Structure 1
């Protein structure tokens, strides 16, 4: 993944703001830190990262960082996302669940969500695990869900891009079939462009073949949070 000068500058600026804010809230809980730190840096990170990381080649991390709200509303949303992240971890122990900004980033490796070889067909194991995730998403209806497909670098760039798009759409279609509103679901393919490990080894390639999710507050949740609900 290539970082633009604006992106790197945003990280330095946001880091300075975070360090300043954290001095005042180092003994507070997670939600309180979200209020104080989010109020100081939310606009900077959300505006800059949302326009750079989240544009063109999208990523789950860019999506949740780009959605930072901050202030009291950010505190309310942060509390709801903390609870949802905890529920996902308990329901799907093998998932990598991260609370980022005002959202949740989920990484499901191929041992959790896998496909038949050179195919977009979900395996029975994948369906079982997606059933578990679907129930949590149904229990928390006021969110948007971005789904990102990733591949290793075997094959051409164009082929892997299309494969990742089709696999992300397979996950989207399956979740929709389980009762999640299609309006909440957005599927994107990243191809081989965002590896998390070396493609020189079987182990590394296996890590790169993954599905990621970015769960963010929808308009209803944001409006209710701003009203203190």
Structure 2
């Protein structure tokens, strides 16, 4: 099952790259599509490698966002080192988060049960502490764009789960903004049960699929500074 899901993820990656590039490109910190287009072209080449590296830890949209934002080369390596430092900071300070580091970006993943009660969209008190700590890290590293992706298991209709996944992603963004994160840096998306990372036929698999993924990538300012430093 894991091999089948991974192959499906890689097959769909091209579509995910385009979708995620448009989402991240609409952030207020991005003034044009030029860098996003270049990143998507690079990401189409790098996507297979990223998918293999991340495996079944995250969904297509998250992997596509990372691939679409990648610029590669020396400048990409400089960005990667900054992301390494932020990933280590998040691992130290945010309880309950799984941090997935991949080249020039980071995925921070929370099981929905850590964030929300069953069928609810209000963050639990402990989850608010987690998100507040994550905001501290993101504010310490302001030159990034953020995509929050909500996911569900396959219990219930697609229409209901789509709405639930969207509302949960918006709830995370709303609380993060209330804690001082600039709203222009953050986009949200719900993916219902369309990007499983485990078997939806088992309780354990469904629990893994109920999750929120937070993707952190370099914004135009960080990219430009990295290119200047690299002399490109």
- 1:71 pairs, out of 73, 76, 80, with 73
- Residues 122-141 of structure 1 mapped to structure 2, 5 A cutoff: 122-141=123-142
For residues 208 and 94 of structure 1, the distance between their equivalents in structure 2, rounded to whole angstroms, comes to 16
Q: Which residue of 2 is the match for residue 153 of structure 1?
A: 154
For residues 227 and 44 of structure 1, the distance between their equivalents in structure 2, rounded to whole angstroms, comes to 21
Answering whether residue 43 of structure 2 is matched by residue 46 of structure 1, we say yes
For residues 74 and 87 of structure 2, the distance between their equivalents in structure 1, rounded to whole angstroms, comes to 20
Which TM-score applies when normalising by structure 2? 0.74
CA gap of 1:170–1:74, structure 2 versus 1, over 3 A, is: same
For residues 189 and 167 of structure 1, the distance between their equivalents in structure 2, rounded to whole angstroms, comes to 8
Kept in 2: contact 1:149–1:168 (CA 8 A):
yes
Q: Which residue of 2 is the match for residue 214 of structure 1?
A: 215
Q: Which protein shows a greater Rg?
A: 1
Kept in 2: contact 1:112–1:129 (CA 8 A):
no
Where 2:86 maps in the other structure, the secondary structure is helix
Query: Which blocks of at least 5 consecutive residues in structure 1 are unaligned?
Result: 9-41
Answering whether residue 110 of structure 2 is matched by residue 108 of structure 1, we say yes
Kept in 1: contact 2:110–2:212 (CA 8 A):
yes
| Structure with more relative contact order (C-alpha pairs < 8 Å, separation 6 or more) | 2
Kept in 1: contact 2:150–2:189 (CA 8 A):
yes
Q: Which residue of 2 is the match for residue 226 of structure 1?
A: 227
CA gap of 1:68–1:133, structure 2 versus 1, over 3 A, is: same
- Cα distance, 1:159 vs structure 2: 0.6
Which TM-score applies when normalising by structure 1? 0.75
Where 2:63 maps in the other structure, the secondary structure is helix
Q: Which residue of 2 is the match for residue 204 of structure 1?
A: 205
Where 1:226 maps in the other structure, the secondary structure is helix
RMSD: 2.5
Where 2:114 maps in the other structure, the secondary structure is coil
Kept in 2: contact 1:49–1:62 (CA 8 A):
no
Q: Which residue of 1 is the match for residue 54 of structure 2?
A: none
- Cα distance, 1:189 vs structure 2: 0.2
Query: Which blocks of at least 5 consecutive residues in structure 2 are unaligned?
Result: 15-38, 52-58
- Cα distance, 1:117 vs structure 2: 2.5
Q: Which residue of 2 is the match for residue 35 of structure 1?
A: none
Kept in 2: contact 1:151–1:208 (CA 8 A):
yes
Q: Deviations over 1:74-127 (max 9, x none)?
A: 1211111010011011112432212213111121113432x2322211111211
Q: Which residue of 2 is the match for residue 193 of structure 1?
A: 194
CA gap of 1:4–1:221, structure 2 versus 1, over 3 A, is: closer
For residues 169 and 49 of structure 1, the distance between their equivalents in structure 2, rounded to whole angstroms, comes to 29
Give the count of matched residue pairs.
190
Q: Which residue of 2 is the match for residue 39 of structure 1?
A: none
